[in-house]
């Protein structure tokens, strides 16, 4: 672990310095991604977690950065959603004028601050820390001031990724259904199954295994992230209302009406259903971490 005063002595000649704030799984992922092109430094408020990075090749953990943040060309904010605004304010107040990349899962809560920072870019990687390659992976860009300039920056940093620009409100609504809904369904399933899991283990079939895979992939290592999204997303109440209506329909109206909708799902997701039928969902959890099952914001700052 180094101090800020030692940074200039440790430069490798790559010509660019990058600070990653937040040493969680995604912070580490970005450190690995950039270490061949940048002198990478990483900070976390958890000193024990920071010390564990001492053996990470090509990455230098730093105890603090606030007073010397202007030494860096780029900063990636990879802390918890609940800490993101505080960290971004600190970056601004300490006079940083380089490129700030924020990877927060929800954007309406941080983009106003980012808009007041010259050179800021707001992205959300829709992949987890198990991704071995960024090739073809989706990164959402929520434009702040100059869409074309920000898009150019992101494409330069992640040339092999699929960059999808979208309005921040649209982004947060889509997060509600693509990430939050599976998390809520998993939480509901855990609550319902909590007293039955031991017995079910003796007779579990393909459907139950698929349910367990949903729970494992949507909640793996992301308790803090799930909590942040559910509490902070302005679309959570709408989602909960839709869930309540769907449950009421199954109970009161007609389960046939709900089951009829599965026909279109079978048509649109035929490959998924074939995997279910062939029993191929035994694939271990590591394979599924390339979906959105990351620990992006688990850091407690």
Q: What is the pLDDT of residues 99-112, one digit of tens each?
A: 999 999 999 989 99
Q: Which two tokens stand for residue 298?
A: 């688990």
pLDDT given at position 225: 73
- Of 77, 124, 120, give the one whose Cα is nearest residue 105: 124
For residues 144 and 153, what is the distance between their CA atoms, to the nearest angstrom?
Answer: 13
Report long-range pairs for 47-51 (Cβ below 8 Å, ≥24 apart): 49/23, 49/299, 50/1, 50/23, 51/1
Q: How far apart are CA 96 and CA 68, in angstroms?
A: 9
Distance CA 190, CA 70 (A): 47
Coil, strand, or helix at residue 141?
strand
Q: What is the pTM of this model?
A: 0.78
Q: Is the pLDDT of residue 284 over 70?
A: no
Q: Which helix (H) or strand (E) holds 31?
A: helix 25-34
Per-residue model confidence (pLDDT) at position 289: 46
* Angle (deg, nearest 10), helices 223-232 and 81-93: 80
Q: Which residues contact 287 (CB under 8 A, 6 or more apart)?
A: 130
pLDDT in the model for residue 277:
56
CA 162 to chain centroid, in Å, comes to 16
Q: Which CATH architecture has domain 4-166?
A: 3-Layer(aba) Sandwich (3.40)
Higher-scoring residue by pLDDT: 43, 202: 43
- Structure confidence by residue, pLDDT tens digits, 61-108: 998 898 889 999 999 999 989 899 999 999 999 999 999 999 999 999
- Please give the pLDDT value at position 5: 53
Listed by start position, the domains of the chain span: 4-166, 170-288
Q: Which band of pLDDT confidence, cut at 50, 70 and 90, is reported for residue 205? A: confident
Name every residue whose Cβ is closer than 8 Å to that of residue 53 and which is 6 or more positions away in sequence: 23, 28, 42, 59, 61
Q: Predicted confidence band at 242 (pLDDT cuts at 50, 70, 90)?
A: very high
- The residue with greater pLDDT, 228 or 199, is 228
């Amino acid at each position: 672990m180094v101090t800020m005063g030692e940074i200039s002595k440790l430069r490798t000649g790559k010509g660019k310095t990058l600070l990653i704030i937040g040493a969680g799984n995604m912070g580490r992922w970005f450190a690995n991604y950039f270490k061949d092109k940048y002198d990478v430094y990483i900070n976390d408020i958890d000193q024990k977690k920071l010390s564990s990075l001492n053996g990470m090749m090509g990455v230098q953990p730093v105890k603090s950065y606030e007073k010397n943040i202007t030494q860096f060309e780029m900063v990636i904010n990879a802390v918890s959603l609940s800490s993101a605004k505080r960290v971004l304010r600190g970056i601004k107040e300490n006079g940083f004028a380089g490129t700030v990349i924020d990877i927060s899962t929800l954007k309406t809560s941080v983009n106003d601050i980012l808009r007041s920072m010259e050179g800021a870019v707001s992205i959300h990687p829709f992949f987890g820390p198990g991704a071995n390659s960024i090739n073809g992976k989706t990164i959402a860009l929520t434009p702040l001031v100059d869409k074309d300039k920000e898009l150019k920056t992101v494409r330069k940093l992640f040339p092999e990724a699929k960059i999808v620009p979208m309005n921040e409100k649209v982004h947060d609504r889509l997060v509600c259904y693509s990430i939050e809904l599976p998390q809520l369904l998993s939480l509901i399933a855990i609550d319902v199954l909590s007293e039955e899991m031991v017995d079910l283990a003796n007779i579990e079939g393909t459907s139950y295994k698929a349910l367990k895979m949903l729970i494992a992939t949507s909640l793996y290592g992301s308790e803090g992230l799930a909590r942040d999204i559910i509490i902070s997303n302005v679309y959570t109440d709408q989602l909960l209302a839709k869930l309540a209506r769907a449950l009421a329909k199954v109970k009161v109206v007609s389960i046939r009406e709900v089951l009829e909708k599965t026909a279109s799902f079978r048509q649109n997701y035929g490959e998924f259903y074939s995997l279910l039928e062939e029993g191929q969902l035994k694939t271990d959890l590591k394979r599924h971490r390339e979906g959105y099952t990351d620990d992006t914001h688990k850091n407690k700052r």
